[in-house]
Every structure is written in structure tokens, then in C-alpha cells.
Structure 1
């Protein structure tokens, strides 16, 4: 069955940058093919949409405009008024979500069940508004986009060779339409649509935004003609639907205007949000490539007073996973899960790179004299960890996952909690400890969840909203 969304969709807001006391925004619209959306009315004038790209039956558009970064503001579209809580100069709230979907059958799920936590987040915004939303990866689960085409029928287990240009073009068209359908279905959900029109988003991608395990799969798979066609379409779709842009038109927050990697940073009063790209340059041996490390090294040299939120799409701190990796190599029927562990910073394959990142984070904290807050998703559980950086400084990690992906069995949370008892100190002088969430005794909580980050009178705190157990007490950051 071919999915056809009810159009138009939008406005879907993205935060392009913070500069010159302004929030520079993009609004994404999806309309019937060729039908331009009405303009946006905002402070400074009327702003018309520009076309991003076409699909078989739809067109994606983008309207760029700005609002003040020091107060609440409104904009108008199509007879409706939308309020933006855009004051970044004092007290503010930020929402963090990840894992908005599931690998199998996500488009067939019943909406109120699937989007229950989105509904809770919408209600929380109505109670006390968010300035922006951070999305930490797997905003879309595109794994089934490869179904229905001869070249990807058995992806990634079987990859055809000697593929003609005509066959690849047909595959790219097939994939574009199916990526489009998945993104349109997400933005058609009323809970997310309501929030997205009022709260600008900042998004970082992870493997399911491409395919399960991208970059941790064998090189012969990802660098095949079929693999590169899949990455090309996923990359284009990420830019269009998670950033409202196309190559050559990236917002200034991106480190690489050519989009060979998609790392970005936002600098607001007393707050830096830093989101390296852990997928575009990933291989089975490296998490980041030359471009990603150049960005991170540059940010480490940059003075950033206040607080830094470091978004790591896979958790930067975690339990000792080498035990599982050894088991998976030894047991043939478990080897298919090897890429899941290779995805992690803690994998044996990434040990030196992990140490490099942790040293860089330590140096960032010492340079500016404040803790670094790492925020992650990906594991479909809620947890936190602390790494002692010396000089009374810490790397604090907050994991919130997932907003709609159903939680794994509670037994998995207990296994990870037991592994955490073993400790994991890649830098022996800086021990890592997995800590329970406020109000909980377990180190890992198997419930759907999202994270709230709040600044009041200059001090930050975090709360998790858990599907069953509710809102946690505040954790001082």
C-alpha cells in the first residue's frame, strides 16, 4: 500500500542559528506538487517560501525568517498566529528527544499509542513553554524504505554487483519516495505537528535515519553502489526534512558548508550546543573523520562561557561492553548483532578514538571552568553517568530514549545495570560511574521518556518524564 499524506503539512520550525540578537529560523512546508504555501508574516515583513525539491505528488518548501532572541514573539501563517518562547537571555527550558519510531511496522502503529509521549511533551509546553527542541538521532526509522525493490530486497545481507546506472536511478527514486513517506507521516501526527509549529528544532542524525547500523556494517556493503545510493538519498532527506535545506544552502551553524559531514554548533548567551556528526564519516574503525575532528578541535579552542551541551547520538559514557563483543564473536548466531555494539563509543574497535574524545571534553571543561553536559539517546532506556574530570569538574551524561520507540524488556535494563558495576575507565585517572536517575534505584529505566533541561537564575537542572513512573525530581547540573 502506498502512503499518501493529507497535505499541506507545516509549518515545521528549525533553528538555523542564533546571531545578532535574533533567532534565525526556517519553516518547512510539504504541499501538493507545485502548490506554494502562503507567506509567513513576522517582525520585519512578509516572507515567501522557496522550493527545496519535488516528489511524485508533493513539493517541499522552505521559508526563512527571524524573530527576537530576547523575548517572546509571534508569527502568522495562513490566518493562524503562533507564539515562540524565544527568550534565550535568561531563564529558559529546552526539550530533548530521540528514537522517534521503530524498525518494523512503524507506519502501521496506532497513533495515540505511538505518540503518547509526544502528547505529554505538548502538554508540558503548554504548561511552561520550551525555547527549542533538541532531537538526538533516529528521528525517522527508514529501515523498511529498502523493501520493495529488487536491488535492496535482501539488504544488507545480499548486495548485488554490476548494477547499471539505470537500475541505480530507479533505486534512488524508490528510496526518495519512501523516505518522503516516512517523514511526511511523522509530521502529519497532530501531537508533533502542533509542537513543531511553535518550538524550533535542532536535529542530529543517527543510523536509523539512514539504515540500521550504517557505518558499522562491512565496508563492502556501505561502499557498494547500492549502499552509496542509500546514503545519498538519506543524506538529502536529512537535509530537507530535518533542517529544511539542501546542499549549498546550509545554515551558518553547520561546520562544513559542503555537507561532507553534518556537525553543527549553536552559541547563545551562556549556552553552547555542540552536535558532532557521528554517521557521515563513520567506518567500522572510526566514528568521526577528518572533518568531524576538525570541528571538535576548533570548538575545544573556543571560549564558551556558561554551559556546553554536547550531543552524542550514541552515549559517550557507558558500561563495559567488551564482554558482549567477545560473546558475539564466539557465538555464530549472535554475530548479526555485532554492528549494534560496534556502533558504540565503548566498542573495542573505537577505544583510542573514545579516549581522544574524552580528553577533548576534559580540556574543554578546564578551559572554561564548567562542567560539560553530554546528552544522548539511541539505547531506548533512560540513564545517566558521571565522569570525574579533576579540578572539581565533571562530565555529566544524560540519556533519554526513546520518545516513541517502545522500551526493551526490563531484564535488559538489569543486565546493563549489572555490567555498570564492573566499571569502565578508559582514562584511569578519570573514573566513570553510572548513576541512578533522581527518585529511582535502578541505573537503567526501561520506559519511554524525554528530557527537560531548565535554566533558572543561571543554574541548570534536568528532569526525565517517564511513561509509567512520571516526572523525576530535578537533577542539578
Structure 2
């Protein structure tokens, strides 16, 4: 671990007369490079960054921000290279209407608003990854609790325990935008071609991002640890892609959400695949395959990933098969293994609770998604065989509970040897803001999850949830949570000699994290 405690204080406030950006987010980093993305309010078109890495001297960069058509917000990203390897970066950003109005290097470097974040550790040291999803703090009635888990995550980041933060879906909740337009009958004639309406809609999404990410508890985290993000349905609207039909208004909301996802989330990530926001990334012996399961999702067409993303995913996996990765994390947003979907669907339909069917249809095990699930599992087990030194772990969110699981293939071709029992692991952390299921819906979830193996696809693939040690509810963590994944030997900064994965769930109401070691398979 390099550097000291990490902290950041950013927002729309002024520091000695200097205007700060509305949002400052640390994006994709390496051990010597960093990306710092900023969003400013209307009229503040110039930004200045001062920074230093390690014990170096402060430097400055000046940037002209861009303003999308019809937007009252401006954006830009600073790309830093040649930084002191694996050091702590101190920085501050100011914005102004003109370059002449920006504070000097001396003024900014001496300001009270210096933020700090660490670059990635050196190559021999595995990354400690934070896993978060489902930032629905609005679902919490107690205002003091709404962002409590973000505050706790900030403490864990400040203690130097996270190198990279993965946001795996529902970073914002845009459902209320759709509901407001419907109540006002504004979407009756809404289409993607209606540019005047689209500008208003995009601006509503931008305002949502700014309102959500300016919260001090969130801003502190976003400005103090490298982040990568992938969207899910609530970043668009509830159940996107899992409804029977897609209306012109539905498509308009998707296009507005897509534009603002690019402006606020995708710009933090490594280069994406060609027709989706999925991407592959390798660092420190770890591979990340982050799949976009919303852009091409269609219940009617029985697609989740999309043909071209499948092809690019296959090409990326083939390229990594001989790369000597020690761990491959595959991000899917919705977990491949959760409840017994068919039984839950029948029960909800019988009880007339059709409002929840979208959640059931989002599942990989839902009937129209089953073939895509088979393709996903087949590819991952094939990769496991072709890269025998690599452990494979699925990372997901979405379901507002925490779980770990083992998934097994019964396909003979997937065996590494006659004695091999092909298995991969799954870790789910959800949600950092959203409340867990309660009442009847919790009962439905509990009825759908047991200790026995669940058939995932025609008895060729099965999965089983694991007991979470110290969890009052056994296999399912029914508390708001985030997770930290660690592949290192405790306190030594190197790899665990047995390549085991330590998962720590930081859960609301529990003083100590729930810790589980997933043994290498």
C-alpha cells in the first residue's frame, strides 16, 4: 500500500472564492497514469487542475470544457501520464468562465480542497476491488440513513483498503423521470426524433446525475479512488429490455439515458467494445470482463448481450487464454444465479403481482434469457479449461442482497482432467443505497433460495449459494452492503499463495464485516 490516508472534499462550494466543479470523479488509472473527470455548471467553461504524485512538485493542466447541445452542464477529463509509480496523487480542480479567471497553481495547491487518491499498486501486488451497486438511497425513509453506507465506504477507502471501485449497475435511479413524464402525458408523442423533447429529457438525466453525485458522502468516494462503471436498468428506467414491447417513448428514454451514461459513467472506463459499453481490461495479473447487459437486451428477441458483443467477448477471452491471468472477474450486473425464477414467476402471476415480473424477466434464468445464459456459462467454463492457471469469478449486483455461490458445469468437455469438477464462483453485492427486500417479497426470495443445487440450464449447469459466516440470515445478506475483494496474503502486499479470494461484506447494522474465503478451485 502506497501513500497515506486518502480523502477528497468536492462539491459545488467555493474555497476562498474559487469555484469547484459540480462533480469530480477519478476514473481509470494504472500505476503511472490517471484520469480525472469533471462536470461544471453553465458558464464555467475552463478548468485548471493542479497535482503532484508522491513527493514531486505540483504541476498544472488547463482544459476547455465542452457543452453538449441543449445542456446547462459542461464536462471534460484530464489525462495524466508519467506519474510516480504507485504513488498517492494530491490534486485540486477549479473552474471559471475564462482561463484568465482561473486561480494560479500556487493558489490551488495551497487550497483547503486538496483531494487524494492512490494509483494502482505495482504489478506484483493484486488489486483490492470494491464492489457496489444499486444506489437507491431515495428508498430509505430515514434521511440520516440514506447515505450511511457511502460514508462507511469512504472510511474503508480512506484507510487504504480499496485500489479500484467497480460500480456494477444502477448508479442513479431514473424511474421517477419516466413516471413524471407519463403523469404529465408528455410521452404520448415522444420519439427519439423529437429533438426539442429529447433535449429536455437529456437535461433531466444530467440533473439527476449531478443531484445524486454531489452528495458529500458520494463525492468523497468518487474523488478519492479510481472507479469503473457499467449501467443497469434503473440508469434507464425499471426493467428496460424486459418488457413485451418497446414503444417510441421507451426508445426515447433509452437514447437519453445512453447519452448521459456516456457523459457521466462510460468516460471513466477503458475503451469499450464497438457497439456496446462492455470492455475488457487487464492489470496486475487480474482480468476484468465487464459486460453490457442493457444496450441489446430484448425480451421479445431473446437477447441480453447482443451478437457483436458476444463476438468481441470471445476474441478478448481468446487473447487472454495464454496471458497467465491469475483471476478473471466477469461483471454481469444481474447475477446468473439467484432465486428459482420459474417458481417465483408463477407465484407472482398467481397473486396478480405483475409489477414485479420485470425483475423476474431480468434474470438470466428467465425462459427468454436461458439460451444466453447457456452461452455465457459455456464460454466461461471453456476459458477456465483453456487457461488452467486462472480462477474465474462472476461479479454482480441488482438484487438488493449479498450472496456468494459456486456454479458447476456437468459438460464433460469442460473438465481439465478426468477428476476435475469444473466450478466457478459468484459474488453479489447489492445495494449500497437501496433497501433489501422485505415483507412478502422477501418471503418469495427466501422460498426461491435453498441449500440444494439449482438447475441453471437443462441440468448441464447448476449453482448453489454458500453460507455467509456470521450472517444472521444464513445464505442471503438482507442488509444494505458493499463488498471488498482481496486476493492478497494478509498484511504482506503479495498474492495469496493458494490464490484464494477473500470477500468482506460491510453491511448496515453490523459493526464488523462479514468475511468469507472462497477457496481456489
Instruction: Provide the secondary structure at the position in 2 that maps to 1:230.
Output: helix
Cα distance in 1 for residues equivalent to 2:459 and 2:329: 24
Please state how far the C-alpha of 1:414 moved relative to its aligned partner.
4.8
Q: 2:506 maps to which residue?
A: 465
Counterpart for residue 309 of structure 1: 329
Deviates more, 1:296-305 or 1:43-52: 43-52
Q: In the superposition, relative to structure 1, how do residues 294 and 153 fare at CA in structure 2: closer, same or farther (>3 Å)?
A: farther
The secondary structure found in structure 2 opposite 1:39 is strand
Q: 1:184 to 1:228 in 2, by over 3 A?
A: same
Q: What is aligned with 2:364?
A: 345
Residues 319 and 416, structure 1, Cα contact 8 Å, conserved in 2: yes
Q: Could you tell me how far apart the structure 2 residues matched to 1:334 and 1:383 are?
A: 25
Matching of residue 278 in structure 1 with residue 293 in structure 2:
yes
1:394-436 CA distances to partner (integer Å, 9 max, x unpaired)?
Answer: 2111111000112221664454333223642225244311112
Report the secondary structure of 2:454's partner residue: coil
**Most deviating of 268-277 and 26-35:** 26-35
Match of 2:252 in 1: 229
Q: 1:300 to 1:412 in 2, by over 3 A?
A: same
The change in CA–CA distance for 1:393 and 1:290 in structure 2 (over 3 A counts) is: same
Q: 5+ residue gaps in structure 2?
A: 1-10, 14-19, 93-107, 410-414, 489-493
Q: Does residue 300 in structure 1 map to residue 317 in structure 2?
A: yes
Instruction: Decide which of 419, 433, 437 is 1:408's aligned counterpart.
Output: 437
Q: Is the 8 A contact 1:98 1:137 kept in 2?
A: yes
Q: 1:32 to 1:154 in 2, by over 3 A?
A: closer
Cα distance between partner residues in 2 of 1:97 and 1:448: 10
TM-score by length of 1: 0.86
Q: Residue 381 of structure 1 is aligned with which of 401, 405, 427?
A: 401
Partner of 1:202, secondary structure, is: strand
Residues 1:442 and 2:468 aligned together: no
Alpha-carbon deviation of 1:450? Answer: 0.2
* TM-score, length basis structure 2: 0.79
Aligned match of 1:263 in 255, 271, 278?
Answer: 278
Q: 2:198: which partner in 1?
A: 172
Q: Give the distance between the partners of 1:458 and 1:145, measured in 2 at CA.
A: 46
Decide whether the 8 Å contact of 1:383 with 1:399 is kept in 2.
yes
Contact 1:5–1:181 (CA<8 Å) still a contact in 2? Answer: no
The 10-residue stretch of structure 1 (466-475 or 444-453) with the greater mean CA deviation from structure 2: 466-475
1:24·1:67 contact (CA, 8 Å) conserved in 2? no
The CA distance in 2 between the partners of 1:329 and 1:474, in whole Å, is 36
Partner of 2:8: none
C-alpha deviations, 1:360-380, integer Å up to 9, x for none?
Answer: 111111122232111111011
Contact 1:42/1:76 (<8 A) preserved: yes
Q: CA deviation at 1:81?
A: 4.8
CA distance in structure 1 between the partners assigned to 2:263 and 2:366 by the alignment: 32
- Asked if structure 2 preserves the Cα contact closer than 8 Å seen for 1:413 and 1:445, the reply is no
Following superposition, the deviation at residue 38 of structure 1 comes to: 1.7
Task: Name the CA distance, whole Å, in 2 between partners of 1:162 and 1:474.
Answer: 49
Instruction: Return the alpha-carbon distance in structure 1 between the equivalents of residues 298 and 81 of structure 2.
Output: 38
Contact 1:142–1:208 (CA under 8 A) maintained in structure 2: yes
> Is the Cα contact below 8 Å between 2:190 and 2:252 reproduced in 1?
no
Gaps of 5+ in 1: 246-250
In 1, Cα distance between equivalents of 2:312 and 2:152: 35
Deviation at 1:329, TM superposition (A): 4.5
| Counterpart residue number, 1:84 | 118
- Residue 160, structure 1, aligned to residue 188, structure 2: yes
8 Å contact from structure 1 (residues 328, 335) kept in 2: yes
Shift of 1:160: 2.8
What is the alpha-carbon root mean square deviation over aligned residues?
Answer: 2.8
* Paired position in structure 1 for 2:272: 254
